[in-house]
Structures are given as structure tokens and as C-alpha cells.
Amino acid sequence: MALKNYSASSLIGGGSGALDSIDGTNLTDLDSAIVFTADTFYFYILDDDSAAAESSPYVIAMDTNGGNKRWILIFSMGTSGVITLSNTGLHLLDTGGNHDLIIKPGSDVTADRTLTLTTGDSDRTITLSGNPTLADWFDQAVKAASSPTFAGVTLGNSGLHVLDTNASHDLIITPGSDLTADRILTITTGDAARTITLSGNPTLADWFDQAVKAASSPTFNALTVTSLTIGATLLTATVSELNALVGALMNVSEDTTPELGGELDCGAHSVGFTLQTATGDGTTTIDWTLGNKFKFTFGAANETFTFTAPSNPCNLILILVQDATGSRTATWPATVKWAERTAPTLTTTGAYIDVVSFFWTGSEYLGQAALNFG
């Protein structure tokens, strides 16, 4: 059935020309409607199984034979030039013209709110990596809640500028002489807040511990940096790039599928695994995505195994332990292919052990067994 377009001059009220006065009997899913009121243009699409509660102008229910059919507002535009979209958001085609960038609110608001982007008189580009907050990469003026922490900071010899209590002047911390090598200033507070009060020009020996520390981790409420050097490398990244880098480093520990950029050399160290275990009840599923090593003890029955495949080709070890009775047998998944095309005959003695090794190719398990461990 061809889709139809309807027109109306008001939204609700059931009177002549109202959108809700259109009989729902012949309305079809995705029919459209255009409504021109005195000051606003509305565009609606029909959802034939919505059943949503009426909420004008966003959801309009038919007065007659409507059932679950609802007119859903797609967008509206007032005579003042204000465009209102449904909360499915503003859809902008990407540069390839094959996907949408969708801009929409991330939460319910209690009143109309205005988002203002001030670019200055120049083109600007916002580049997002992850989900930063606006405070991470907009307006880098000193904020009261800003607390950056650095393992090491190198500033130009104009010094470290810290705003005073009413933000009218800078306290500038600079070296008072030329140094012949890098020097470390360490302030040890103990586990308590401290205040340094200067009168005159005391030397550090008067009130600081002069022991040289191997690691420095200063924390600042606000920081103005002319240039930043890490090791012997001058850092030239933008603030947004630094935020993206920090976010990426923080995510390393949470990444469940990390990938190496080259070969892994463990040196003179071993790589350990968590040994999965299970006791049989007749059917057992071994999830190889949870680990490469599995110890299985037969219960009081033969066992049928199901394997959940790992994500990538790898070596797998399955330890089979007979129960006290012994003579338990195994039925293997069809994806297991055995050496000599014959499944191994497991040890029959109670409590004895067989070790089965698999290589997962990405589509099948190539297996062989070492048997009769006492």
C-alpha cells in the first residue's frame, strides 16, 4: 500500500482540520503529516504500534479508531526561525555520505537549555577521542577545580605562575641562579597539610629537607606551562592530544583485548595462566576465551564436551582426571581433528590423568594426547 501524506491546521482538539481528528482506520505505518498553525510548521510520521501516551506536540493520538497508532513529531520550525527536532537528534551525513553523525541530548533537562560554541573569528575543529568532558578540552583558563598531576615537568625559566587568592596577580617560582646540572627540590610534608610562611629571604637549608629524591611527582592546583620536556624530548602535543593520550593510557589496564605492536620478549621470566577447573556431570562446556589451561575431573558418568572457541589461533591444554571408579570416556566436538584421525583411548584406572593438547587454527582444534599419568 502506498504511503500517504496528510495536512492539518491544528494539532489537537478533534475539530475540523486538527491532526487528531484524522480517522485512524486507513492510516498506515510511516504515513506522514504536515501541520501549519499560525506560527509553527510541524512534520510528523505515523508509528502504527507506538501506543505512547499523548504528549502534544511530540506525540499525537487519533480521536477515532486510533488504537496504538500515534503521530510522532520529527521536527518543527516556528516563524522565529527556531527548529525543534525529536529526541532522536540532529542527523548529519558524514564525509563519505554513508553514515550519520547524530547530535542529541544525553539526559533529560528540566527547562530549555542553550549550548553555545564560541569559536572566535576563525575556523575551529573539535577532535574527540573517547568521551571527554567539556572541561577536558575547552577553555584552558585556570579553573578552581583543576588539579593536574605530572610525574615530571620542565618549564621555561620564566618560572611557574600560580594565581594569588583573588586571581589578580601571579606568584612566580623561578630558579635564583644558574645550575651546573639538573637539581631536585623535594618538599616533605608528612601525612598532613602544611603552610610555608616566608619573612625575608630564608635559604632552603633553613626549613627544607635537602635530601635528593629519585622520583618527583608534583601536584598543582593550576599550572601555566611555556614548554614541557619529558626526559630529553620537548613535548609539542596540543592539550586535546594530551587528554586523548592520558585517556588511552588509563584505559590500558581496562582493555580486555590488548594488542601488541611487535614481538613479545619476556626475557628470563615465565608467563602464567589461571587454571580453569570443572567436575563432570555428563555435559561440560569449556570456554577457551577464559583461559588456555583447563583441568577436568570426571564425575560418575561419561562426559560430552562442548568448546567455546578462543578469539585467535592458540595452543590449549586440557587435563583429564578419572574419578575413583575410572573407565570414563569422552565425546568430543565435531571441530576436533585428531592425530592419525583417531581419538585417543583414555586411561581407565581410577584417579589417573591424561593430558590432551589442542592447537586452535581459527576453525578447528588439532588434538593429540599424552596418556596414563599415575
Let me know whether 158 and 221 are in one domain: yes
What is the rounded distance in angstroms from the CA atom of residue 81 to the CA atom of residue 103?
19
Task: Give residue-wise pLDDT tens across range 233-286.
Answer: 777 777 777 777 766 666 655 666 777 788 888 899 998 889 999 999 999 999
Is 223 inside a domain boundary?
A: yes
Of the listed ranges 45-59, 112-126, 270-284, 325-339, the one predicted with least confidence: 112-126
Q: pTM of whole model > 0.85?
A: no
Question: Domain tally for the chain?
Answer: 3
Is 363 inside a domain boundary?
A: yes
Let me know whether 226 and 302 are in one domain: no
CA 248 to chain CA mean position, Å: 10
Does the pLDDT at position 96 exceed 90? no
What is the rounded distance in angstroms from the CA atom of residue 43 to the CA atom of residue 73?
6
Let me know whether 13 and 75 are in one domain: yes
Beta carbons of 236 and 226 less than 8 angstroms apart: no
Highest mean pLDDT among 17-21, 134-138, 261-265: 17-21
Does the pLDDT at position 208 exceed 50? no
Let me know whether 237 and 153 are in one domain: yes
What is the rounded distance in angstroms from the CA atom of residue 3 to the CA atom of residue 340?
65
Of 229 and 61, which is predicted with more confidence? 61
Is 98 inside a domain boundary?
A: no
Is 333 inside a domain boundary?
A: yes
Let me know whether 147 and 238 are in one domain: yes
Of 208 and 256, which is predicted with more confidence? 256
Of the listed ranges 119-133, 182-196, 289-303, 333-347, the one predicted with least confidence: 119-133
b/e sequence 269-304, b meaning 16+ C-beta within 10 Å: eeeeeeebeeebeeebebebeeebbbbbbbbeeebe
What is the rounded distance in angstroms from the CA atom of residue 363 to the CA atom of residue 341?
17
Find the domain containing 23 and state its range.
Answer: 5-85
DSSP per residue, 205-238: HHHS--PPPS----B-SS---S-EEETTEEE---
Is 32 inside a domain boundary?
A: yes
Is 300 inside a domain boundary?
A: yes
Q: Look at residue 273 and give its three-state secondary structure.
A: coil
Let me know whether 283 and 231 are in one domain: no
Beta bridge partners of 83: 77
Of the three residues 203, 227, 244, the one that is the final residue of a domain is 244
Is 289 inside a domain boundary?
A: yes
Is 92 inside a domain boundary?
A: no
Of the listed ranges 9-13, 67-71, 162-166, the one predicted with least confidence: 162-166
Of 331 and 177, which is predicted with more confidence? 331
Model confidence at 212, pLDDT cuts 50, 70, 90, reads very low
Let me know whether 283 and 328 are in one domain: yes
User: Given this model, what pLDDT does residue 11 score?
Assistant: 95
Of 193 and 47, which is predicted with more confidence? 47
Let me know whether 364 and 288 are in one domain: yes
Of 337 and 112, which is predicted with more confidence? 337
